[in-house]
Amino acid sequence: MTVPTVVPVILAAGESRRMGSPKPFLEAGGKTFLEHITANLEAAGLPRPIVVGNPAHADLYTSSGWAGAALVMNPHPENGMLSSLRLGLARLPEEATHALVCLVDMPFVSAATHAAVARLAEANPERIIVARTNGTDGHPVAWPRGCVAELNTWNGSDGARGFLRANDARVLRCDVEDPNVLVDFDTPEMLRRAGFVV
């Protein structure tokens, strides 16, 4: 069996205040956001993801019967995305060189995009790989293991985004033809505009 070097991590601990209901379990096109992402990761040939969830939504994981990943709860989701990123990176298996970090409110990133970012990460084990389309950085981002200790002590402005800006020389962009690397859903109106009934 091939040992995975790039392991997906889905950040899903947000409080979903503007959306009004937990984003991981929102349905669009017959699947929840979480199911869309995990299906595309599987189609990309990647291992099962680590999901960083919100303990306020723990019963939804149980009641949905969803068991597609290792699940870790962020006890302090109010501390923002960087706190979830740190928890996800802490769960990386020893053999992994990168965490392919996906955001749960960006459910339609294609399998081809996930695969392309993962391939570039495998070829560049020390680099941060960022999906980019039409010159604009998006997600997913593949974080190398070498960044874990630095991210754990990073206290600069703007969280992980600020870390990326401060370390741009270490970033390698993966150009893809996938507009969904820039599309996140924060409100019901955004879903309606995309053609989904909410």
Q: Is residue 102 part of a domain?
A: yes
Tens digit of each residue's pLDDT, the chain (198 residues): 355 799 999 999 987 777 768 888 888 888 999 999 999 999 999 999 999 999 988 888 877 666 666 899 999 999 999 999 999 999 999 999 999 999 999 999 999 999 999 999 999 999 999 999 999 999 999 999 999 999 999 998 889 999 999 999 999 999 999 999 999 888 878 888 877 755
* Three-class DSSP labels, the chain: CCCCCEEEEEEECCCCCCCCCCHHHCEECCEEHHHHHHHHHHHCCCCCCEEEECHHHHHHHHHCCCCCCEEEECCCHHHCHHHHHHHHHHCCCCCCCEEEEEECCCCCCCHHHHHHHHHHHHHCCCCEEEEEECCEEEEEEEEEHHHHHHHHHCCCCCHHHHHHHHCHHHEEEEECCCHHHHCCCCCHHHHHHCCCCC
Q: Is residue 1 part of a domain?
A: no
Q: Which domain, by its residues, includes 128?
A: 6-193
Whole-prediction pTM: 0.93
Count CB-CB contacts under 10 A for residue 14.
25
Number of domains forming the structure of the chain: 1
CATH number at residue 183: 3.90.550.10
Q: Is residue 134 part of a domain?
A: yes
Q: Is residue 137 part of a domain?
A: yes
Model confidence over 184-198: pLDDT tens digits? Answer: 888 878 888 877 755
